[in-house]
Amino acid sequence: MRTDKLRVNQLSPKTYEWYLAYLQAIDTKNVEVYGTFLADDCVMQSNNNSPVQGKADILQSLSYYWTTFDSLTHDLLNIYGSDSSFVLEALNHYKRNDGKVITIPAVAITDRNEAGLVTSIRLYTDTTPLFAATAT
């Protein structure tokens, strides 16, 4: 994860540290650790895709999705909002399974409950380059 380009961070120091750990679980593709951040009734939606309802289904979906690329590094640009509802603007650096590295702009909207668990994640990014065929 990269934070050297982070311009705006409206999270408290405690929530910012929590969020860095949350993103690190994604960057390391550690589904078990990532699951500790989610409420059981969490909902995740990416772009125009149907929402994924519930922690178990989200983790199952991510377990598959994370096999479709080799690695991911979040490059944080801005975090706007409060400790319970915030928006991340980032550049996501992917290493595809074919070794090609691509960078995709992304926005993630996250809501947390009073216990600090994620209840809603909305992701907006165009992952077309991640799955595009490589030229031969």
Establish if 46 belongs to a structural domain. Answer: yes
| 133 within some domain | no
pLDDT digits (tens, 9 = 90+) for 36-75: 999 999 999 999 999 999 999 999 999 999 999 999 999 9
- Within a domain: residue 45? yes
Within-domain flag for 132? no
For 66-122, how does the pLDDT look when each residue is reduced to its tens digit (9 = 90+)? 999 999 999 999 999 999 999 999 999 999 999 999 999 999 999 999 999 999 999
pLDDT category at 136 given cuts 50, 70, 90 is very low
119 vs 40: CA distance, rounded Å: 8
Q: How many domains are contained in the chain?
A: 1
Q: Is 2 domain-assigned?
A: no
Query: What pLDDT was estimated at residue 70?
Result: 97
112-131 exposure pattern, b = at least 16 Cβ within 10 A, e = fewer: beeeebbbbbbbeeebeebe
For the stretch 4-43, pLDDT in tens is 999 999 999 999 999 999 999 999 999 999 999 999 999 9
Identify whether 97 is part of a domain.
yes
13 occurs within a structural domain: yes
Q: Give 90's Cβ-side CA count (13 Å radius).
A: 25
Which pLDDT score, from 0 to 100, does residue 133 have?
76
CATH number of the domain residue 73 falls in: 3.10.450.50
Task: Give domain status of residue 134, yes or no.
Answer: no
Structural domain of residue 107, as residue ranges? 8-127
